């Protein structure tokens, strides 16, 4: 680009006149920077000296000229680090920012980068390119901010990297003027949107274009050739809330959630590649409103259902308020490939309020192939308003839709572009085009900064260190991320909490003679920022813990935590934790999220508190403590409560909390608390094939969205039947209760 500009200087007379005095200004501190900005003229480069710029709130307010911008850039790309309390405001026209890295800090006020100087100083024709924002999070995950806010018109964000946003708020938001709204014409292209872990509340979108208030006007923003890699923040990856936008040729990789045409009309979603690799909740495209076109997209092994189906065409609300659901009218859905996708839902969300099915819409030349022959299309409403023609679907036992489909075996072959296509030439015009080319990692972001570095080390990915009695505390301190501590048989006594701030596995060497860990502080393991703990093949006894209320085997450090932690327990035994009240196995705290807690093949015998105490969030903002709980093949006896999980609020933005318990036994538990398991606001609960004896009932409270509760094939002996309560919904029983035996 710089080369191009120099070329213009030497070929254009007019440009020569204005650029003759173009200067490079190397600046070393904020004062020099401000003077350089004040003096900047079209063509100038303001160059930040290499190094760490700590607590630098840069205001880049200047006027460049067409084809002759003022550029703010790093002396060496990637060597200028804005850290601490830093941010950038870009106000004016024809400005370019490049080569900066934001990390090790957060914005002290508002977004990290805003395309406006002050409230009325929106930038236009300006560009942020080759910029990195890496984990530049507010210290409290509940504190909301955006990383990039686009205002004005004709701005561009390209070849940049955004990764590891863990606090609330959209990663990149197009903020639209309210009165009157203007057409934005922004371009967001060739960026790497890296891992964004589940937020545990609404507000974890990666891109949002507008808000519902101005959504019936056009933004005309283009989102193209970006990679979205593990963008798991919430159910919406890209939330379109305006008209005439284009989302095309993006690669959506292993990301929970969907591209959602939430509000606004006349948007185009074309040529995107969604690869889910079977990961849970990987979605596709959700259609709402009028005049939407979805064509030439390729979706493979995405597993989402309901709103996050590979394709979800929603039902609308009559005379919808602007923040609800306009009817789908005139949708054109054509030439998309759905390969081993789990679900297409038509009329999604149909209920008493969302009563208007799609109309005047077309569904043509789509290719639907799945191994199982289950038939992935599900109709939740009348689909008479959708014309089906020329679609091809692999054999289905009981098709949901009769007309407009040819059902036949479809043999697929992976083409040079890495995607699957039918081998039969007769199917050349069905499904996504062969010209699709998933964008490569080397074509997005910058070459000088790693991509995906914020992802956590996997359990067992490091080295294994053998530990003898007496050596546990020292070994925990010295362990590296991903290491495994292999405990020899023997008695371990721990006198102070063991801080876990990395991925660590602690395992017994001999399954037949497990090491026994006792502890004398109120906490055995304290999980801190970055911590993930796996225990296997150990016995932990609570008989040496203080005879005081509130002990815990595992608890998180107090205060907010940004990274999602995890706890896995396998083949372990917990005993003698009933010497004082409120002894928990895993105790959680507010403003922290466990990505998952898994307990398998383990015994808990005598615990006065809760195995999983995940009820510390309060209020109706939808915050909660744990995304996924899985308990399998375990035994609980004389336990205060197995799990206490709470999520407030009613929004449908998150996948969690989810709770699953199978193949386990519960005895003499939950009676003091009045519930053996207490789930409130849990979105997905499955409790199957368990035996409850002499225990309090399971209590489930439905509040959020469309909860899916299955309590099946359990035996309840001298234990009341499950109690299901609806906080808001009025209608027939929504929980599936089947095959249970209550005696
Ligand atoms: Ca949302």
DSSP secondary structure string for all residues of 420-464: EEES-GGGTTSSS-TT--PPPGGGSS-TTS-SSTTSPPPTT-S-E
Q: How many CA atoms lie within 13 A of 139 on its CB side?
A: 6
- How remote is the CA of residue 19 from the centroid of ligand 1, in Å? 46
Environment class of 410 (CB within 10 Å of its CB; exposed 0-12, middle 13-18, buried 19+): buried
Q: How far apart are CA 184 and CA 103, in angstroms?
A: 29
Structure-token match 């080390």, residue found: 457
Strands (DSSP E) along 340-394, which ranges? 344-348, 361-364, 367-369, 377-379, 386-389, 391-393
- How remote is the CA of residue 529 from the centroid of ligand 1, in Å? 26
- How remote is the CA of residue 705 from the centroid of ligand 1, in Å? 13
Q: How many CA atoms lie within 13 A of 216 on its CB side?
A: 9
Distances (CA, A) of 677 to 190, 461, 513, 642, 685: 47, 34, 31, 5, 11
Q: How far apart are CA 496 and CA 216, in angstroms?
A: 59
Please list the residues that pair with 74 across neighbouring strands: 48
Q: Which residues contact 263 (CB under 8 A, 6 or more apart)?
A: 210, 212, 215, 216, 240, 241, 242, 288, 289, 322, 323, 326
Q: How far apart are CA 631 and CA 568, in angstroms?
A: 10
Positions in the chain whose pLDDT score sits under 50: 1-19
The pTM score is 0.93
Joined together, the tokens standing for residue 544 give 């040496």
- How remote is the CA of residue 191 from the centroid of ligand 1, in Å? 21
Q: How far apart are CA 202 and CA 234, in angstroms?
A: 7
Where would I find the H helices in 20-150?
Answer: 30-39
| Residue 602 CB neighbour total at 10 angstroms | 24
- How remote is the CA of residue 652 from the centroid of ligand 1, in Å? 8
- How remote is the CA of residue 341 from the centroid of ligand 1, in Å? 23
Please list the residues that pair with 229 across neighbouring strands: 253
- How remote is the CA of residue 199 from the centroid of ligand 1, in Å? 11
Give the three-state DSSP class for 336: coil
Joined together, the tokens standing for residue 160 give 């940049």
Q: Which residues contact 258 (CB under 8 A, 6 or more apart)?
A: 235, 236, 237, 283, 284, 285, 286, 304, 307, 308, 312
Q: How far apart are CA 177 and CA 174, in angstroms?
A: 10
* b (16+ CB within 10 A) / e for 238-257: bbbbbbbbbbbbbbbbbbbb
- How remote is the CA of residue 223 from the centroid of ligand 1, in Å? 18
Q: How far apart are CA 413 and CA 419, in angstroms?
A: 8
Strand-strand pairing, 420-422 and 412-414? antiparallel
Per-residue confidence (pLDDT) for residue 454, from 0 to 100: 86
| Residue 571 CB neighbour total at 10 angstroms | 18
Phi, psi dihedrals of residue 476, rounded to the nearest 5°? -65, -45
Per-residue confidence (pLDDT) for residue 456, from 0 to 100: 84
Give the three-state DSSP class for 377: strand
- How remote is the CA of residue 654 from the centroid of ligand 1, in Å? 8
| Residue 330 CB neighbour total at 10 angstroms | 17
Joined together, the tokens standing for residue 489 give 């048989």
* b (16+ CB within 10 A) / e for 285-322: bbbbbbbbbbbbbbbbbbbbbbbbbbbbbbbbbeebee
Residues with C-beta atoms within 5 A of ion ligand 1: 202, 236, 653
- How remote is the CA of residue 531 from the centroid of ligand 1, in Å? 27
Per-residue confidence (pLDDT) for residue 100, from 0 to 100: 98
Structure-token match 């074309």, residue found: 270
Give the three-state DSSP class for 622: coil
- How remote is the CA of residue 8 from the centroid of ligand 1, in Å? 45
Q: ∠ CA(159), CA(163), CA(164), 5° rounding? A: 175
Q: How far apart are CA 590 and CA 557, in angstroms?
A: 10
Cβ atoms of 92 and 123 within 8 Å: the answer is: yes
Per-residue confidence (pLDDT) for residue 21, from 0 to 100: 67
Joined together, the tokens standing for residue 437 give 């080319």
- How remote is the CA of residue 149 from the centroid of ligand 1, in Å? 17
- How remote is the CA of residue 327 from the centroid of ligand 1, in Å? 19
Joined together, the tokens standing for residue 563 give 């990274």
Per-residue confidence (pLDDT) for residue 9, from 0 to 100: 41
What is the length of the chain?
A: 743
Please list the residues that pair with 316 across neighbouring strands: 356
Q: How far apart are CA 504 and CA 568, in angstroms?
A: 10
């Amino acid at each position: 680009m710089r080369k191009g500009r120099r070329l213009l200087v030497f070929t254009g007379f007019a440009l020569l006149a204005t650029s003759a005095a173009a200067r490079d200004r190397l600046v070393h501190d904020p004062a020099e920077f401000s003077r350089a900005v004040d003096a900047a003229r079209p063509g100038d480069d303001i160059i930040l000296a290499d190094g760490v710029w700590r607590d630098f709130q840069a205001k880049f307010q200047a006027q460049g000229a067409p084809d002759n911008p003022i550029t703010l850039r790093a002396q060496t790309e990637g060597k200028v680090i804005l850290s601490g309390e830093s941010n950038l405001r870009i106000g004016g026209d024809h400005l370019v920012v490049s080569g900066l890295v934001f990390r090790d800090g957060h914005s002290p006020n508002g977004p990290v980068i805003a395309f406006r100087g002050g409230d009325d100083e929106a930038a236009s024709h300006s560009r942020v390119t080759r910029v990195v924002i890496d984990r530049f999070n507010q210290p409290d995950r509940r504190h909301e901010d955006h990383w990039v806010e686009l205002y004005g018109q004709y701005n561009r964000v390209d070849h940049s990297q955004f990764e590891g946003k863990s606090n609330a708020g959209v990663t990149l938001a197009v903020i639209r003027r309210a009165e009157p709204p203007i057409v934005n014409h922004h371009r967001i292209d060739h960026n790497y949107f890296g891992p964004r872990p589940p937020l545990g509340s609404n507000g974890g979108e990666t891109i949002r274009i507008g808000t519902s208030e101005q959504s019936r006007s056009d933004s005309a923003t283009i989102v193209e050739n970006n990679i979205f890699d593990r963008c798991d923040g919430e159910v919406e990856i890209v939330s379109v809330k305006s008209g005439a936008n284009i989302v095309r040729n993006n690669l959506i990789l292993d990301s929970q959630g969907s591209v959602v045409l939430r509000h606004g009309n006349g948007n185009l979603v074309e040529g995107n590649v969604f690869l889910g690799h079977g990961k849970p909740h990987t979605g596709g495209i959700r259609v709402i409103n009028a005049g939407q076109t979805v064509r030439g997209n390729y979706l493979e092994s995405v597993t989402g259902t309901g709103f996050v189906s590979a394709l979800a065409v929603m039902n609308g609300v009559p005379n919808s308020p602007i923040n609800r659901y306009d009817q789908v009218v005139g949708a054109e859905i054509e030439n998309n490939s759905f390969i081993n996708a789990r679900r297409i839902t038509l009329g999604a969300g149909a209920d008493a309020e969302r009563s208007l099915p799609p109309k005047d819409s077309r569904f043509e030349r789509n290719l639907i192939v799945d191994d199982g022959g289950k038939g992935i299309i599900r109709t939740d409403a009348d689909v008479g308003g959708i014309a089906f023609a020329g679609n091809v679907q692999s054999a289905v036992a009981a098709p949901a839709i009769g007309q407009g489909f040819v059902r036949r075996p479809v043999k697929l072959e992976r083409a040079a572009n890495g995607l699957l296509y039918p081998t039969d030439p007769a199917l050349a015009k069905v499904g996504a085009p062969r010209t699709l080319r998933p964008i490569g990692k080397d074509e997005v972001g910058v070459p000088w900064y790693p991509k995906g570095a914020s992802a956590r080390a996997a359990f067992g990915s490091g080295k294994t260190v053998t530990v003898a009695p007496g050596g546990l505390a020292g070994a925990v301190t010295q362990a590296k991320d991903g290491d495994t501590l292999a405990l020899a048989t023997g008695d371990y006594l721990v006198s102070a909490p063991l801080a876990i701030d990395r991925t660590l596995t602690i395992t017994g060497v001999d399954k037949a003679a497990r090491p026994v860990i006792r502890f004398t502080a109120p906490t055995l393991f304290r999980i801190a920022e970055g911590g993930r703990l796996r225990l296997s093949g150990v016995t932990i006894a609570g008989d040496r813990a203080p005879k005081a209320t509130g002990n815990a085997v595992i608890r998180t450090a107090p205060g907010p935590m940004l990274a999602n932690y995890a706890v896995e327990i396998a083949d372990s035994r917990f005993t003698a934790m009933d010497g004082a009240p409120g002894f928990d196995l895993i105790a959680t705290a507010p403003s922290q999220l466990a990505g998952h807690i898994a307990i398998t093949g383990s015994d808990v015998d005598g615990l006065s508190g809760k195995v999983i105490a995940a009820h510390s969030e309060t209020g109706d903002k939808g915050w909660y403590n744990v995304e996924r709980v899985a308990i399998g093949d375990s035994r609980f006896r004389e336990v205060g409560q197995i799990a206490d999980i709470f999520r407030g609020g009613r929004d449908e933005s998150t996948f969690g909390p989810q709770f699953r318990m199978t193949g386990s036994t519960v005895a003499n538990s939950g009676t003091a608390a009045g519930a053996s398991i207490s789930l409130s606001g849990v979105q997905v609960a499955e409790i199957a094939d368990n035996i409850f004896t002499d225990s309090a009932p399971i209590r489930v409270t439905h509040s959020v969205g469309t909860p899916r509760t299955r309590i099946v094939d359990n035996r309840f002996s001298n234990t009341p039947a499950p109690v299901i309560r609806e906080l808001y919904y009025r209608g027939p029983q929504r929980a599936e209760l089947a095959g249970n035996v209550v005696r």
